[in-house]
Structure 1
Amino acid sequence: MDEVTVYDQSGKLLAVLDNADAVSYELKHNDLWTGSFSLPTGDPKNVYCQAHNLVRLSDGSRDTGIYRIIGMPSAEETAAGGMREYSVEHVMATLLDDVLFGYHEIGGEGITTRQVMQYILDRQTAKRWVLGEVAFSDEYQYKFENVSLLSALLSLGEVLTEEYTWDFDTSATPWVVSLRKADTSDGCGIHYARNLVGIEKTMDASALVTRLYPLGYGEGVNQLNIRSVNGGVPYLDADTASTWGIKCSVYADTRIEDAAVLKARAAAVLEGYKNPYITYTAKAIDLHRMTGQSWDNYMPGKRVRVMDGEHGISFAARIVSISKKDLRGDPGSVEITIANAVRDVADSINTLADRVGIGELYSQGATQIFAIPFADNADPEHPAKMRFYIPSGLVRINRMQLSWELSAFRAYETGAAAGGSTTQTSSSGGGSTATSSSSEDVACTSESGGETTVSQPVRVLSSDGGGTAIAIGNFANIDGTGYSTAANTAGLTTDDAGKHKHTIGHTHDIAAHKHTCFKHAHTINSHSHDFSGSQSLAWGHQHSYGSIGDKGNTGGVVGYKPKDIIISGTTGGRTLTANEAGDGDSSSVALMTGGTSNQNSGESGSHNHTIPAHTHKFQHAHKVEFSINVPGFTVDIPAHTHNVKIPGHNHRVSISAHTHELTLPDHTHDITYGIFEGTTARSVRLLVDGTEVPSEAISKRELDISAYLEKDEDGKITRSAWHTVELVPDKLTRIEANLFAQTFIQSTGGGDY
């Protein structure tokens, strides 16, 4: 048996109403669910049926939710068999108990529908409801002012462009509210000869609309429309206009401030009004109580398939409401209302708001005109410059009318009497200043340029005095054979320690001849020569040896290089043996070394020389006169830079203590009173936010400058920004101007000062 149970406001069970009768309910899609029941006037459990106590109306396995008692019509208390009838509403109405007091603005870019719903639920005094599923992630901006939480919550769906279903689940605590997308497939069915008892069709064309003019935030000429996002056309036409003709209406939602959102919302509304509103009221048997199948479970928002082949009826539409008149007396009888379009629930929301005395008082604004005066002298180099600020609260700017006049330059001149005086400065001490006290600096010079230099042939000759002689001209007579040095027969002189000096300044020309040598052998032990400390040109040298069929050198240093050198090392050794005499070769002797030898000769002429291991240390210099032929050459110097690094340093300048004295004799300036006027300009140039206005547009000295003011990315005059108007005269003059602004301001924000 279906029971009616009553609870207090905290959810504590108070009683089971066994004598409850005439239990009924009506469940509406996206609207407040209602119901009622009766108790005999003499039933003692009437005491539990207090206002806002909770009641559960059971209907088998169908979840009809929890309700609260809101009304008890008057009844004859003493009449025998009298009944008390109680009205109930779904506990979603508990969200009427709290309001969004004052002005609230939330949403927009980065703020989703879920966040807005959470913002509303967070304002509950008693936290009965929590947020469940939210199938939409739109970022619409919402504004609420002095509305209940339920009104604010249900209004979120009004701007959605897809069909939606509110779900208020009271099967457990805390209760859960969800916003889901409406079913797009058939979820249940009514079939002739199965569960269809009867069906009635009703058509209402009183609200038929095929052309809709959407309006949003604002008033009068400042009210938002869709021209900017609809090709300049302020209305939308339905695809049924050719069938039903043009049926115009106006749709206004002053909460919408974006033209694109307004257009999308208007298109969704037009979809529900483009055809006559057809409803089917079907009386059916509630088989769900017996089968428990989802196909037999009728709930608001589900799509139902109606099939009545007997009368040629077959269609699918959304259930807008279901109701039962007597759960206990006739539990299997259910009435289902089906419609071909979903209508807005705004009227129901307003009804809820009116019941608690709250209106949807959305702040709009007002149109106003204000003037900005300006007057100043100006000339071509110093234009008259007017700056003004446009705040964000100027929702719409209708016009910015600028007017001006030119008049004679005006000056105010006065003189002032004054006595003489003596002024002394820097009277105590000097000072010092340090500069460049830290960091390195890099200076770059010769950043561009470059050049080509061509030289003349040059002949350079050495001189006895160490200087240079330069000869310029043709050097074809120079044969390159060099010069012979003067003969020097001084020979070699050494001291007791073997230190000696070679002065070589001559040449030997020895004609080819033969030397006949008896069979003998020469052994040259390995030795070394050190050359160090020389400050003149150092000649390399070597030891040469030779025998019949065997010529070579012991190694050493060869080369000619005009620089100080140190040569050290050990020559190789060699023993030469000749078995018989032979012809000699023409040769020259480069160096003869000292030493001792043991000479042993016999009849055969064989002998040997033994030279012990020894070293020669030479400090010598060569003085050479020479000439160098330098041919002409070309040098290309490319463009280049020089980088100069200056390390951190400082300069200190000391200024000694000193004073300056200036003496002015006593004197006076006569005061002259009066206003002096000068020239008047003949014409001006007008610049608005840096853009010059064409001269033909300013010929009347009055102009709406709205088109020339700086715009944002949406083509609107920039808000929260300074703007500038400049009047540039052709000569020295006085300019008087006024800027009249006609705007629409929003009456939100700010304080009460």
Structure 2
Amino acid sequence: MSRLEVYDLEHNYVTTLANAYNVGYSKEENQLWDASFQLPYDDPQLKYCRPLRFIKIYDNEDEYIGEFRIWPSEKKKSMSDRQVKIELLDCLHTLTDSVLFGYYQLNNYKTDYVFNWLLNKQKNKRWIPGRVDFQRGFSYAWENENGLVDALFSIPKPFDEDWIMERDTTVYPWKISLVKPQTEVTARIIEGYNLKEFTVKESPQKLVNRVYALGDGEGVNQLTFKTINNGKAYVEDTFSQEEYGLIEYIWTDRRFKDKASQKASTEGMLRNWKKLQYTWEITALDLMKLANRPSNLAINQGREIKANELRLGKVIELITEDNEPIQFRILKESKSDIDDGKANIQLTLGNVIGNTGTTIADVERQQEINTNYANGATNIVPYIFDREADFSNPVEFKFFVDDDVRNVNTCELTVDTSHFRATSKGNTSSPQTVSSSTSSAGGASVQSATSSAGGASVQSATSSAGGSSTQTSSANGSHRHRMFSPGDLIGPLPETRYVAYGGGFVATGSPNDIYTAEAADNHTHTVNIPAHTHNVSINIPAHTHSVSINIPAHTHQVSITIPGHTHEIIYGIFEYANLPSKLKIEVDGNIVPIDSTSFERFDVVPYLSKDEDGKATRGRHTIKITPSDLARIEVQLILRVFIQSQLGGEF
């Protein structure tokens, strides 16, 4: 007889149900389990079976089946039947009690860290982390998750290998582990021995050998992995294509925000979809529950294994009359009534490798996630301004790419160059003295050019002068005057002659000078100047001038005192006459090869600074425009970005 134990919300033992019947369960790999049982309509223990309490189920051999949570109950009363059916959910369902409100993102953390981080978000910590067999470094993001269970199961979704979310509810708090599935055969199902019946469905319905993948976002912004897959947004299997032809499929899962994770998960899906799908639904005998059957069989050349342990996750070997032995893993285990005595067990079998992960999808939950998830939208961000500039004072401005921008689609720059503009007005000035610094100047010699001047004759006017009589002063003392030398007058005299002179005789013919006869005493002379005129004539001949100036080395010291004053305002806009011949444009330090001084909608995305993934860095960017001359620079920068609103509040 099976045993059902009831625990309250604090997980304290309450009671064991004595009259439970039709106890059944279904356990599926990497899914929430379920179970059910019935009680008589008037069972006194029914009062203990309140919603959200917990039930531990043991079968009639005391094998522990698992722990479940009481969910809905259905009371049925009729002439022939009076019963209450109680539905149970996996106690893992308690992870839905806590939500992830808002947006959370973890980048490149190891698997065990992410696993522990999520479990720590429980408000009531019923689950603790157990073993984690993986140490991967993927990025994860969750937004407004209604419960932690789906977020927890999303951790291994990007893995390119199989995994199992394993529970241990024999302890409390319960323990959950992320482990690698076993691959070694431990049991066997043989037709005619413990295989009662089977149904095999072969279907090409899910056959796909080329898978395109789309992640979060919309339109051209929707995530693909083509930048890390040689430009291809798909993965494919050419061997499958040779056998079945090309069969394509577009797989969209907006929960993916990281292209490496998306690619790894797509490859895992292709591995499952590239071949025909077989579904084995079998009914077997659970020989472990029959006392008249051996519990162990020797297979594989004498090696002893637990051949009859047909339990979830075990790898079995299936032997039928029509097929060679095939290895499968048990993906689902269920019993409709563990007390019926027939020991029947229903199993779903799948490939040993490649049955878990994203191939098992909760469609309803996926739709809910896609509804709640904010996909974002394309936005246009304009920057428009104008500024005066010259070669020494370039236009320089900064713009931001915010952290919640998913993609930068375009960054278009438009520039118009026009004449430099200036305005002028008077300002009050305080008295001040402006002194130049002393400067040294070298000397210089400057030679003027020689110039020619014509001659001239200048005639003065004739003037009249009156005559006058002047008497000399008296001269004292005796003296005589030599009058002349005879030889000077007539040449040498041959003989002496005496000539009468002044009452006496003077000898002649001698070479002696001639003197007055006697010395004169004191006397005066009278000089008479008659009236007369002057006539002056000056003649200046033609001539030239040559000037040479020598400036020695010297210094200047200038001091200017400007008294306080004001200027009257002159209204108007003044334009510089010239235009620059070229512009130097730099984007984040990268020179943009543009020759024109005016252009439109030039995409400067290639010149933005990039991160290691080749995407425009988030944060500040700088554009610098340097004209070759004075200029007025008019700039328009238009950003097209795909953005998700995860910052700020509601204002």
TM-score by length of 2: 0.73
- Indicate the SS of the match to 1:115: helix
Q: 1:121: which partner in 2?
A: 119
Are the counterparts in 2 of residues 680 and 734 from structure 1 also a CA contact under 8 Å? no
Is 1:329 the counterpart of 2:340? The answer is yes
Match of 1:410 among 421, 434, 443: 421
Q: Sort the Cα spacing of 1:416 and 1:358 in 2 relative to 1 into closer, same or farther, 3 A.
A: closer
- Indicate the SS of the match to 2:649: coil
**Displacement after TM superposition at 1:742 (Å):** 0.9
**Displacement after TM superposition at 1:268 (Å):** 0.5
Residue identity in the other structure for 1:32? L
For structure 2, the residue ranges without an aligned partner over 5 or more in a row are: 297-305, 434-558
**Displacement after TM superposition at 1:305 (Å):** 0.9
Are the counterparts in 2 of residues 202 and 278 from structure 1 also a CA contact under 8 Å? yes
Q: 1:266: which partner in 2?
A: 266
Residue identity in the other structure for 1:720? G
Are the counterparts in 1 of residues 41 and 84 from structure 2 also a CA contact under 8 Å? yes
Match of 1:307 among 319, 324, 328: 319
Distance in structure 2 (CA, Å) of the matches to 1:112 and 1:714: 20
Q: How many residues align?
A: 509
Distance in structure 1 (CA, Å) of the matches to 2:586 and 2:124: 61
**Displacement after TM superposition at 1:166 (Å):** 1.0
Q: Sort the Cα spacing of 1:144 and 1:403 in 2 relative to 1 into closer, same or farther, 3 A.
A: same
Is 1:685 the counterpart of 2:584? The answer is yes
**Displacement after TM superposition at 1:201 (Å):** 0.4
Q: 1:746: which partner in 2?
A: 644
Are the counterparts in 1 of residues 68 and 89 from structure 2 also a CA contact under 8 Å? yes
Runs of 4 or more, structure 1, over 6 Å off, are 357-360
Q: 2:228: which partner in 1?
A: 229
Distance in structure 1 (CA, Å) of the matches to 2:340 and 2:405: 64
Are the counterparts in 2 of residues 189 and 296 from structure 1 also a CA contact under 8 Å? yes
Distance in structure 1 (CA, Å) of the matches to 2:70 and 2:324: 41
- Indicate the SS of the match to 1:75: strand
**Displacement after TM superposition at 1:286 (Å):** 0.4
- Indicate the SS of the match to 1:153: helix
Q: Larger Rg: 1 or 2? A: 2
Is 1:366 the counterpart of 2:264? The answer is no
Are the counterparts in 1 of residues 412 and 604 from structure 2 also a CA contact under 8 Å? yes
Match of 2:355 among 331, 342, 365: 342
- Indicate the SS of the match to 1:64: strand
Q: 1:75: which partner in 2?
A: 76
Give runs of aligned pairs for residues 415-426 of structure 1, distance below 5 A.
415-416=426-427
Q: What does the per-residue CA deviation read over 1:258-279, in whole Å, with 9 as the maximum and x for residues that have no partner? A: 3222111110112122223211
Q: What does the per-residue CA deviation read over 1:590-634, in whole Å, with 9 as the maximum and x for residues that have no partner? A: xxxxxxxxxxxxxxxxxxxxxxxxxxxxxxxxxxxxxxxxxxxxx
**Displacement after TM superposition at 1:30 (Å):** 0.7
**Displacement after TM superposition at 1:402 (Å):** 0.7
Are the counterparts in 1 of residues 588 and 621 from structure 2 also a CA contact under 8 Å? no
Is 1:375 the counterpart of 2:386? The answer is yes
Is 1:674 the counterpart of 2:588? The answer is no
Give runs of aligned pairs for residues 582-597 of structure 1, distance below 5 A.
none
Q: Sort the Cα spacing of 1:697 and 1:37 in 2 relative to 1 into closer, same or farther, 3 A.
A: farther
Residue identity in the other structure for 2:154? S
Residue identity in the other structure for 2:66? G
Distance in structure 1 (CA, Å) of the matches to 2:102 and 2:86: 35
Give runs of aligned pairs for residues 352-751 of structure 1, distance below 5 A.
361-416=372-427, 665=563, 667-678=565-576, 679-695=578-594, 700-726=599-625, 728-751=626-649
Distance in structure 1 (CA, Å) of the matches to 2:582 and 2:560: 48
Distance in structure 2 (CA, Å) of the matches to 1:47 and 1:670: 98
Q: 1:433: which partner in 2?
A: none
Distance in structure 1 (CA, Å) of the matches to 2:396 and 2:139: 39
**Displacement after TM superposition at 1:7 (Å):** 2.9
Q: Sort the Cα spacing of 1:145 and 1:686 in 2 relative to 1 into closer, same or farther, 3 A.
A: closer
**Displacement after TM superposition at 1:45 (Å):** 2.1
Q: What does the per-residue CA deviation read over 1:455-504, in whole Å, with 9 as the maximum and x for residues that have no partner? A: xxxxxxxxxxxxxxxxxxxxxxxxxxxxxxxxxxxxxxxxxxxxxxxxxx
- Indicate the SS of the match to 1:157: coil
**Displacement after TM superposition at 1:697 (Å):** 8.3
Is 1:297 the counterpart of 2:196? The answer is no
Distance in structure 1 (CA, Å) of the matches to 2:112 and 2:606: 40
Percent of aligned positions that are identical: 31
Distance in structure 2 (CA, Å) of the matches to 1:750 and 1:236: 39
Are the counterparts in 2 of residues 146 and 359 from structure 1 also a CA contact under 8 Å? no
Q: 2:150: which partner in 1?
A: 151
Q: Sort the Cα spacing of 1:343 and 1:384 in 2 relative to 1 into closer, same or farther, 3 A.
A: same
Q: Sort the Cα spacing of 1:313 and 1:706 in 2 relative to 1 into closer, same or farther, 3 A.
A: same
Distance in structure 2 (CA, Å) of the matches to 1:337 and 1:666: 101
Q: What does the per-residue CA deviation read over 1:73-101, in whole Å, with 9 as the maximum and x for residues that have no partner? A: 2301x635422221111211111222122
**Displacement after TM superposition at 1:218 (Å):** 2.0
**Displacement after TM superposition at 1:121 (Å):** 1.5
**Displacement after TM superposition at 1:20 (Å):** 1.9
Distance in structure 2 (CA, Å) of the matches to 1:99 and 1:26: 27
Q: Sort the Cα spacing of 1:123 and 1:717 in 2 relative to 1 into closer, same or farther, 3 A.
A: closer
Distance in structure 2 (CA, Å) of the matches to 1:375 and 1:277: 66
**Displacement after TM superposition at 1:671 (Å):** 2.1
Distance in structure 1 (CA, Å) of the matches to 2:332 and 2:172: 26
Q: Sort the Cα spacing of 1:126 and 1:385 in 2 relative to 1 into closer, same or farther, 3 A.
A: closer
- Give the alignment's Cα RMSD to 1 decimal: 2.8
When structure 1 is superposed on structure 2, of 369-378 and 223-232 the one drifting more is 369-378
Residue identity in the other structure for 1:51? P
Distance in structure 1 (CA, Å) of the matches to 2:135 and 2:601: 50
Residue identity in the other structure for 1:393? D
**Displacement after TM superposition at 1:349 (Å):** 4.5
Are the counterparts in 2 of residues 54 and 67 from structure 1 also a CA contact under 8 Å? yes
Residue identity in the other structure for 1:173? Y
- Indicate the SS of the match to 2:136: coil
TM-score by length of 1: 0.63
Distance in structure 2 (CA, Å) of the matches to 1:169 and 1:667: 92
Q: 1:434: which partner in 2?
A: none
When structure 1 is superposed on structure 2, of 19-28 and 681-690 the one drifting more is 681-690
When structure 1 is superposed on structure 2, of 733-742 and 47-56 the one drifting more is 47-56
Q: What does the per-residue CA deviation read over 1:190-225, in whole Å, with 9 as the maximum and x for residues that have no partner? A: 112321112210134323221111112322111111
Q: 2:525: which partner in 1?
A: none
Distance in structure 1 (CA, Å) of the matches to 2:645 and 2:188: 52
**Displacement after TM superposition at 1:744 (Å):** 1.3
Q: What does the per-residue CA deviation read over 1:517-567, in whole Å, with 9 as the maximum and x for residues that have no partner? A: xxxxxxxxxxxxxxxxxxxxxxxxxxxxxxxxxxxxxxxxxxxxxxxxxxx
Residue identity in the other structure for 2:311? M
Q: Sort the Cα spacing of 1:697 and 1:297 in 2 relative to 1 into closer, same or farther, 3 A.
A: farther
Distance in structure 1 (CA, Å) of the matches to 2:397 and 2:403: 20
Distance in structure 2 (CA, Å) of the matches to 1:193 and 1:218: 55
Q: Sort the Cα spacing of 1:345 and 1:15 in 2 relative to 1 into closer, same or farther, 3 A.
A: farther
When structure 1 is superposed on structure 2, of 682-691 and 247-256 the one drifting more is 682-691
Q: Sort the Cα spacing of 1:742 and 1:697 in 2 relative to 1 into closer, same or farther, 3 A.
A: farther
Distance in structure 1 (CA, Å) of the matches to 2:349 and 2:207: 18
